[in-house]
């Protein structure tokens, strides 16, 4: 095997070259699907990378490649990082899944972490965030804040993660306001400011006074601000520049605790393959400050819910919950299992319309 001998050779060369230093920094690579300047998904991953650097300073060296298309380039870039001696590589988009698993087969000594996927291997972990926990809080606040009883929801693609969010937000809005209804727009994009702005304007024109978004740009916030009496929630990043109004709270993707933990595990030699789905308790889903635009008692009850989720006392999908057609999904007191949630392709009772296929 030519490749193996070459690899062994370079390994020796590396060992010789770095032998002079007492301790060789742990190298951590990151593959991003968008530019670090997108202000949303990739931006938050990069913030977490910076947090890893800050935490370990000289003991860790990080590097990244941004705007990697989810095709053949991904595999090349991941391999390139492994060749350059990365000890741990985070691949931060669903579309990198197959590429990550492929490369991992060829580099058994390198650890891989793939975000939002479901495939794992001895040296590949999967990690994802329970964004629906944050959606429960949004629904709880939105249901009480709305005066028109119409809540607009901008979805990206009809995939389980987004459907979980819609169901979770809706259940908790209905819980506090039986008259509330959801208007859902599928934007068919994760990031297209002009289209998101239009979607938000349309929802507002149709009477929505709360906009929830599962797309990454701040355009819906701006549209709400222009409309004047509409509230919004930040998505992916805090979007604090729109606080205290229209943005009254936010879901923040906070990858830093997980990245620091996994980097530490590699340094300690205790890294093991895992498949985690973290949420508010572990700090992967952060809830941005609830501003004073929200009345104190609503804010207080939202905080109670946050704490209940944080303590593991409350699961947002706790029965009784029915399917859209009225048949029973979860009996009183039952809690949804992760497998059903991960493949969620149905609306709960009360939501109108079909999920596009």
Partner 1 sequence: MDLSSINPILLLASLMVAATPILLAAIGELVVERAGVLNLGVEGMMITGAVCGFIVAISTGSPWLGFAGAALGGALLALIFGVLTQVLLSNQVATGLALTLFGLGLAALLGQGYVGIKAPPVAKFPIPLLSDLPVIGPVLFRHDPIVYLGITIIAATSAFLRYSRAGLILRAVGENHEAAHALGYHVIRVRLLAIMFGGACAGLGGAYLGLVRVPQWTEGVTAGAGWIALAIVVFASWRPWRLLLGAYLFGGVTVLQLNLQAAGVALPVSYLSMAPYLATILVLVMMRSGRAPGSLGQSFHASR
Partner 2 sequence: MIRLEKRTAPSQFWTYAAPVLAVLLTMICGGLLFAALGNDPLITIRTIFWDPLFSEFSWYYRPQLLIKGAPLVLIAIGLSFGFRAGVWNIGAEGQYILGAICGAAVGLAFYPTESVFILPLMIMAGALGGWAWAMIPGLLRVKFGTNEILVSLMLVYVAQQLLASMALGAMRNPDGMGFPGSRNLARYPSATSWINEGAGLHWGVVFAFVAVIFAYITLSRHIFGYHVRLSGQSPRAARFAGVNPGLLVLVCMGIAGALAGLAGLFEVAGPSGLISIDFNAGYGFTAIIVAFLGRLHPIGILLAAGLMALTYIGGDIAQSNLRLPAAAIQVLQGMLLFFLLAVDVLTHYRVRIGTRKLA
Q: CA-CA distance, 301 to 280, in Å (whole number)?
A: 16
157 binds partner 2 (CB under 8 A): yes
Mask for 32-61, x = binds partner 2 (CB under 8 A)? ---xx-------------------------
**Residues 26, 267: contact at Cβ < 8 Å?**
yes
Output the CA torsion 336→338→343→344 (10° steps): 30
Beta strands in the chain (DSSP E): 26-31, 60-65, 88-91, 111-115, 124-129, 150-155, 181-186, 210-213, 231-236, 247-253, 275-278, 285-288, 321-322, 328-330
Sign of CA dihedral 96, 101, 107, 113: positive
* Residues engaged in binding partner 1 (CB under 8 A): 34-35, 37-40, 43, 152, 183-186, 188-189, 191-195, 197-199, 201-203, 205-208, 217-219, 222, 237, 241-242, 352-354, 356
Torsion of CA 173, 252, 256, 91, to 10 degrees: 90
Tell whether residue 71 is a contact of partner 2 (CB under 8 A).
yes
The smaller minimum CB distance to partner 2, of residues 73 and 282, is found at 73
Q: Using alpha carbons only, give the angle 181, 230, 226 rounded to the nearest 5 degrees.
A: 140
Is 84 one of the binding residues for partner 2 (CB under 8 A)? yes
Distance of closest approach, residue 80 Cβ to partner 2, in angstroms: 6
CB of 227 vs partner 2, minimal distance in Å: 30
Residue 228 or 269 having the CB closest to partner 1: 228
Nearer to partner 1, 38 or 209 (CB): 38
Contacting positions for partner 2 (CB under 8 A): 2-3, 6, 10, 13, 29, 35-36, 63-73, 75-77, 79-81, 83-84, 94-95, 98, 118, 157-160, 163, 188, 342-345, 356-357
């Amino acid at each position: 095997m030519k490749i193996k001998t070459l690899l062994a050779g370079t390994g020796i060369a590396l060992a010789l070259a770095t032998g002079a230093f007492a301790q060789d920094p742990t190298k951590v690579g990151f593959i991003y699907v968008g530019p670090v300047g997108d202000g949303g998904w990739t931006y938050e991953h990069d913030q977490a990378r910076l947090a890893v650097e800050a935490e370990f300073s000289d003991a860790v060296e990080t590097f990244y490649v941004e705007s990697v298309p989810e095709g053949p380039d991904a595999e090349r870039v991941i391999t390139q990082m492994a060749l350059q001696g990365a000890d741990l590589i985070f691949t931060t988009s669903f579309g990198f899944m197959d590429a990550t698993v492929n490369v991992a087969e060829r580099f058994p000594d390198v650890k891989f972490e793939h975000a939002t996927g479901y495939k794992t291997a001895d040296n590949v972990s999967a990690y994802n965030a329970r964004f629906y926990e944050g959606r429960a809080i949004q629904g709880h606040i939105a249901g009480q804040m709305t005066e028109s009883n119409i809540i607009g929801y901008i979805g990206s693609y009809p995939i389980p993660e987004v459907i979980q969010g819609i169901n979770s937000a809706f259940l908790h809005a209905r819980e506090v306001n039986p008259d509330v209804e959801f208007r859902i727009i599928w934007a068919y994009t994760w990031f297209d400011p002009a289209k998101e702005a239009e979607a938000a304007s349309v929802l507002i024109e149709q009477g929505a006074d709360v906009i929830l978004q599962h797309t990454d740009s701040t355009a819906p916030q701006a549209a709400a601000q222009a409309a004047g009496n509409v509230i919004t929630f930040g998505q992916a990043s805090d979007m604090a520049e729109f606080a205290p109004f229209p943005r009254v709270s936010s879901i923040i993707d906070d990858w830093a605790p997980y990245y620091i933990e996994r980097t530490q595990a590699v340094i300690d030699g205790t890294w093991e393959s895992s498949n985690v789905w973290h949420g508010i308790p572990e700090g992967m889903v952060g809830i941005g400050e609830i501003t004073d635009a929200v009345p104190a008692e609503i804010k207080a009850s939202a905080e109670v819910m946050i704490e209940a989720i944080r303590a593991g006392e409350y699961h947002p999908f706790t029965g009784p919950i029915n399917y859209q057609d009225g048949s029973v999904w979860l009996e009183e007191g039952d809690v949804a299992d992760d497998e059903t949630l991960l493949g969620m392709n149905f609306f709960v009772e009360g939501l109108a319309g079909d999920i596009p296929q």
